[in-house]
Structure formats: C-alpha cells, structure tokens
Structure 1
Amino acid sequence: MDDKIEAKLSAPPSKQDLRRDAITERVLEIGSVRIDTLVDELDVSRMTVHRDLDALEARGVLRKSRGVVTAVASSLFEASTDYRLRQQSAEKRAIAKLAFDLIEPGEAIVLDDSTTGLNLAELLPQKEPLTVITNFGRVLDMLYGKRGISLISTGGEYYQLCDAYKGNLALSALNQLSADTYFMSTPAVSNGVCFHQQPELIQVKRAMFQCAKKRVLIADHTKFSKRALYSMMPIHEFDVVISDSRLSREHVTEIRRSGVQLIIAKTHPGKTEIS
C-alpha cells in the first residue's frame, strides 16, 4: 500500500479532526445550530470554533450566517473522503472482509468512490491476479504497482471532494467494459431504494452497475437511516447486500422480502450470519 494512504487509514484522527467531525454531525443532525451553542458544547474558544467552521465551509459542508451554522443541502450525504473514512470504520472493515470472500482470483471487479470499498481494495492483492476497474483516486493510489493487480481507471472529470472521476469520459470507458462483480456503495437507502445526492456520480454508478454480471451492495447500517435527493436503483436489483449487525430488524426483513441474499457482518465476537 502507498505509505501516504496507509498512514491515512491507520493514523488516529487528531483532536481537530474529531472536533470538526462533531460539528458536522451536530449540524447534519438538526439542520442548523447557533455558533454560541457549539462553543458551549465543545468547550473551546470562539476563535477555535470559527476556524473549524471556516474550514468546513470551504469544503462545502456547511454555511455560516449571522451567528448560525446551517447544513448545505449538497453536503447531506456527500461529505469529503477524509470525513467518511472516519465514520463507522469498524463496520466498514467487517463488511469489506465479507465482500473479499466473494471474489475469486482472475476476476474483474468494479469499485466506486466508497470508503468501504477502499477497505476492500486494501485486501485485494491477497487474491491476485485481479483486474480492478475504478473511478476512485484513492483506490488507484492504493493498488498502483501491486503485483498481480491490473488497474483500469475510468478517467473523466475530476471531482475533488470525493477524489473521484465522473462525466462523459468516465461513462464512455465503462460502456466498453464487462466485469464480473461491482461492489457498490450508496449514501442512503430509503424504502428499498438506493439514493445519492450527486446526479453525475449516479450516472457513473449506473454505468458500473450495467457493466458487471454480479452486483453487490456494501452499506453499513447508518445508510438505511439517511436520505438523499436522487434515486439510483432498488435493492431487489442486486444479487447480494452486505451490511453490519446493527442493521435494524425492520431493514433486515425488508431486504429478505426483496429476495436478495443478505450477509451480515458482525462487529463483535460471533459468527457471521448469512441469509
């Protein structure tokens, strides 16, 4: 693995990272928060909070106005890669290990700009030879030069927030490919349908979906309690769904009724449940 990527995945988050994560979670939870409230809750100086807010505003996560912080609509489920890497990390690792078990040497697999998929990418050299097709810059960095891994980048217009490629060039590349398995992420699942906040990334995901013979949804339990604006595809079109043991009973029942195989990753000692 690239030293910089390995450091990013293994290094503990700084106090600044944790504080900014806490601000982001608080704002996304209730939509808007007074800056005075954040100062009191975080027990840090007003200047420190304003520096954090300025950094988050620059990333497009939130907006400051007259003493109030408000979530930006497009940030609801389109947070930065660094932020997403720190969320549900144990669940994502467990899901990635089960996804890895579905792969056979010699296959061509597709990974999108998923941090769960990034955990899967870290394991892939153990099953070489493989062909990996992706639009995610961090997957390309992680697997570059690894023995037995043939990398195919979609190319296209670079989207810095997600470190991913999108647009017509990416779609054209995917339309010319045929892969074995696509491991798809989604920011939100509602009423049995996967949703996303970015229309152009949806187009890429749909093209990936179409070029693969087998489709596997990798989504931790939090995705099933979130919302996003644009629908992608219903769960019943997937062959397998992999989630974690904190997935609600209601959502377990919903997935099973759709006829899709559900695999539950345990994040505590115990056997993996497959249904």
Structure 2
Amino acid sequence: MNAVLVEGQVLSSRRRGILDYVTERGVVPVGDLLERFSLSRASINRDLLALSAQGLLRRVGPDITALPSASSSGSVVYRARQAVAQKQAIAALAASLISPGDTVALDDSTTVRAMADSLSAIASLTVVTNSLGLGTRLGACETLGLIGLGGRYSPTFEAFVGMVCEQSVMSMHIDLAFVSAAAIHGLTAYHQIEEIIRAKQALMAVADSRVLLVDSGKFGNSAMNRLAALSEFDVVITDDGIDPGYAAMLRDAGITLKIAAVSLPADRALTAG
C-alpha cells in the first residue's frame, strides 16, 4: 500500500514524502520543506500538524525533527522500508507451511504482512488478523475468508489492540499463528509495546502451531518487553543473513530454524537444514 492510516484518515503520498524526507535527515528547516515540496506555508503547516498529531514529527522553532516513533521499529512507515528483500523471502517460506483449508492468524508486523501476496493461491483459507493494513489488502481477495479482530485502534501500528482484541480471539481455533518480534536476545523474543505483545500472545494461545518470522538483523538485539521464549514456537524463520554461529546456537538449543535464501527469488526461498 502507498498510504497509511492516521486517526482514520489516509496519509497522502505528499505527507508520506515529507515524513520520509525528515526521517532520513533528522532535522529539516521548514523553509527546506517549502522549497522541496513546492507548497504554500498554509499547506505545509497543515501537513506538519497532521504528522505531529500522529506522533511522527515535532516542530521546534523553525526546524522539524523526526520523533523516535518515526525512526524506530514501532512505526509502520519506517518498518515497511526495512529489510524488504529479507521479509519477502521469509514470508514466501512461511506461506509454504500453510495447507488448503487452514485457519491462520497473522499479526500486525510488516514481516507477516509480506505474506499477503502468497495467500490468495491457497484454497479455502481463512485468515484472522488484528492488522487493519493487512485486512485492507486481503479484503479484496475473493478466494479467502477474512476475520478482523476489533479493539482499540493504534495508528502507529495500524492494528487493533486491547482487551476486546484479546478476548475476541479466545473463542477461536487457529491452525497456525504467524507472528514477528522487534528483537531477539539470546533465546528470547522481545517487543517494545506491551499491548502489541498481548495481542500476539492471544493469537499464539489458540493456535496449534506457532511460527516466528524475524529477519536476521533483529538477532542480537533487545527491546523492553518479553514476548516469548523461542522454544515456544514450533518454527522460527529468518533469512540467510543470520550469523552462522547464532544459527548453530539456536539449533543446539532445540529450536527448529528455517532459513530463507534472500539471494533467490522470493518464491524459491529455500530451507537450510
């Protein structure tokens, strides 16, 4: 998608461009934005006010700065641009685990969202998700059933979270749950936001099989809150950029690790081991 939702409204390609421009540079004078995007001062002020309301940009005197949420793993706008080839290869390998007729749960992550293009070819598939962005993409697909989880909407994650989301999934039976994490430290997966973690854990709790999708750049990092031990997942899928020593440590610990070959086209992603 070329747009993200901000408080119920579509973030235009122009505002997306402004956000990208500031995020890449860190600090940008308002005058530079006026010249770069050929806007009137009134128009740029409206755009900056909208981006500020979402917590993506901040105005300090004549300068515009990117807030941490715009340049961290928390922002869909930022995450969607990171490790794109790796996510596509991981997602293709993950989709190969699904059988016709399965009911699968997909979380809000951009890694899991990359599975969307592979799902329409799987017969009689039912998808359960708390991701509005993913639900919007899959909603037009007539070959699968889509169940959207409600709750409180988080614009930053384009996802529904909270008690309503968590409780609504508890009456379901899921064949496979696909989730991602912000960081892997040792043998544990972490994420920075508690509500996002609880939504992921709710999907995992009702699933027969749990699959963790995480690109190699997240290994050896950490975030504030614990999501799960890697041993709680039936399969961990990453890409071939993972350090061989780290991969060996995971396998020695009994983790079922599958490695997607990024050097090949996504639909030919291979499994190592």
The TM-score bracket by the shorter chain reads 0.7 to 0.9
CA apart distance, 1:175: 1.0
Give the letter for the 2:190 counterpart: F
- Quote the Cα distance in structure 2 between the aligned partners of 1:248 and 1:22: 32
Correspondences of 1:140-159 after superposition (within 5 Å): 140-159=135-154
Q: Report matched runs for 1:262-273 at 5 Å.
A: 262-269=257-264, 272-273=270-271
Secondary structure of 1:162's partner?
Answer: coil
* Cα distance in structure 2, aligned partners of 1:126 and 1:271: 17
User: What letter matches 1:121 in structure 2?
Assistant: A
Q: Is the CA contact 1:199–1:230 (under 8 Å) kept in the aligned structure 2? A: yes
Which residues of 2 match residues 1-275 of structure 1 at below 5 A?
5=1, 20-21=19-20, 24=23, 35=27, 45=32, 57-61=52-56, 72=68, 76-79=72-75, 81-269=76-264, 272-275=270-273
Given the superposition, is the C-alpha separation of residues 127 and 226 from structure 1 closer, same or farther in structure 2, using an over 3 Å criterion?
A: same
Q: What is the alpha-carbon distance in structure 2 between the residues aligned to residue 271 and residue 89 of structure 1?
A: 14
Whole-angstrom distance in 2 between the partners of 1:141 and 1:116: 16
Cα-Cα RMSD: 3.2
Report the Cα distance in structure 2 between the residues aligned to 1:26 and 1:225, rounded to whole angstroms. Answer: 27
Give the counterpart letter for 1:72 in structure 2: P
Deviation digits for residues 144-187 of structure 1 (CA, Å, limit 9, x no counterpart)? 14233111111111111111101111111111111010111111
Normalising by the residue count of structure 2, what TM-score does the alignment of the two structures yield?
0.79
Q: Any conservation in 2 of the 1:183–1:216 contact (CA below 8 Å)?
A: yes
Q: How many residues align?
A: 252
Assess if the C-alpha contact under 8 Å between 1:60 and 1:75 holds in 2. Answer: no
For 1:162 and 1:180, how far apart are their aligned partners in 2?
Answer: 25
Distance 2:184 2:57 in 1: 23
Rounded Cα–Cα distance in structure 2 between residues aligned with 1:123 and 1:196: 26
Q: Tell which deviates more after alignment, 243-252 or 65-74.
A: 65-74
Q: Distance in 2 between matches of 1:186 and 1:61?
A: 21
Tell me the CA shift for residue 26 of structure 1: 7.1
Offset of 1:257 from its aligned partner? Answer: 2.2
Aligned-residue identity in percent = 31
Residue type of the partner of 1:274? A
Amino acid corresponding to residue 167 of structure 2 in structure 1: S
Q: Which runs of 4+ in 1 moved over 6 A?
A: 46-49
- Residue 48 and residue 221 in structure 1: after superposition, are their counterparts in 2 closer, same or farther (change >3 A)? farther
Shift of 1:126: 0.2
Cα distance in 2, alignment partners of residues 206 and 245 from structure 1: 27
Letter in 2 for 1:272: L
- Structure 2 CA distance for partners of 1:116 and 1:139, relative to 1, 3 Å: same
Q: Which 5+ residue runs of structure 1 have no aligned equivalent?
A: 28-34
Instruction: Give the stretch that moved more between structures: 213-222 or 262-271.
Output: 262-271
> In structure 2, do the counterparts of structure 1 residues 25 and 46 end up closer, same or farther at CA, with 3 Å as the change threshold?
closer
> Letter of the aligned partner of 2:91 in structure 1?
A
